[in-house]
Amino acid sequence: MLIRTEGGNIASGKTTCLEYFSKTSDVKLLTHVVKLWFQVVSEDSLSLQALRYQDPERWGLTLQSYIQLTMLDRHTSTTVIKMMERSIFSAKYIFEENLFRSGKMPEVDFAVLSEWFDWITTNVSIPVDLIVYLQTDPETCHRRLKQRGREEEKGITLEDLQVIHQLYEDWLVRRTSFPLPAPVLVSFTPLLHRAFNERIKPSSSSLFI
């Protein structure tokens, strides 16, 4: 079984890259499970994702618990060759960590999520062969966020993206924060998706050898 996971900031080009590989390689694409997060709604018809942005202290634990569940489901899929958008590790080391450090997640909630994550990674086999890090500057991500205009992302600021970028850099490039579950391939993404595809094309097959 070969498992490649993609990591990168919000709007770093992950979906575009995955769609490209799905058309050019013999790969089972396991996309980001955002759709599932939107299917869980409140009495006011607000999605879990929207609730998290609206009131992170109240809904951060709920959303991150569900993300951890859906990511675990993807990791344990029996597909022979698969490529995933994000992973259970980036959910923990980047997004949960960001919520906690920014004061948007109570310490008790963070402790519960951390203990649950530790139990999973100790008792469940979560193989990862390679992490492909799409290294995109926060300014480019912020511009793409504005261009795609998703309602739930309107509250994401450049400062938010800069913090997430720093967490990724510390983890995957400097390797000073958290353990790496697999080797890391760093790919700097150009400003345009078209240029990004051209950059990846010559070496795409080598990712699945």
Whether 85 sits among the annotated catalytic residues: the reply is yes
Q: Residues 94, 123, 62, 86: is their CA dihedral positive or negative?
A: positive
Q: Which of 41-45, 135-139, 167-171, 201-205 ranks highest by mean pLDDT?
A: 167-171
Determine if residue 11 is labeled as part of a ligand binding site.
Answer: yes
Structural domain containing residue 55: 2-203
Quick check: helix, strand or coil at residue 24?
Answer: helix
pLDDT reading at 17 higher than 60: yes
Q: What pLDDT score was predicted for residue 199?
A: 46
Mean pLDDT of 35-55: 73
Which CATH number does the domain housing residue 132 bear?
A: 3.40.50.300
Does residue 209 lie in a domain region? Answer: no
Active-site annotation holder among 19, 43, 85, 97: 85
- Structural domain total, the chain: 1
Does residue 32 lie in a domain region? Answer: yes
What pTM value is reported for the model? 0.79
Determine if residue 10 is labeled as part of a ligand binding site.
Answer: yes
Does residue 15 lie in a domain region? Answer: yes
Residue 50's nearest CA partner among 184, 178, 124, 152 is: 152
Within the chain, residue ranges assigned H as helices are 14-24, 34-39, 48-54, 56-75, 88-90, 97-101, 107-123, 138-148, 158-168, 193-200
Rounded-to-integer distance, Cα 199 and Cα 25, Å: 16
Buried b (16+ CB within 10 A) or exposed e, 6-17: bbbbbbbbbbbb
Does residue 105 lie in a domain region? Answer: yes
Contact 117, 88 (CB under 8 A): yes
Determine if residue 205 is labeled as part of a ligand binding site.
Answer: no
51 Cβ contact partners less than 8 Å away, ≥ 6 residues apart: 42, 58, 59, 62, 63
pLDDT reading at 135 higher than 90: no
User: CB-based burial of residue 201 (10 Å sphere; 0-12 exposed, 13-18 middle, 19+ buried)?
Assistant: exposed
Does residue 43 lie in a domain region? Answer: yes
* Percentage of the chain lying above the pLDDT 70 cut: 69
Determine if residue 174 is labeled as part of a ligand binding site.
Answer: no
Contact 41, 196 (CB under 8 A): no
Does residue 60 lie in a domain region? Answer: yes
Does residue 208 lie in a domain region? Answer: no
Helical (H) or strand (E) element with 173: none
Digit-coded pLDDT (tens) for 74-105:
888 776 667 777 889 999 999 999 999 999 99
Determine if residue 23 is labeled as part of a ligand binding site.
Answer: no
Tokens standing for residue 157: 């600021």
Tokens standing for residue 96: 């949960």
Digit-coded pLDDT (tens) for 26-40:
666 666 566 676 666
Quick check: helix, strand or coil at residue 157?
Answer: coil
Q: What pLDDT score was predicted for residue 11?
A: 74
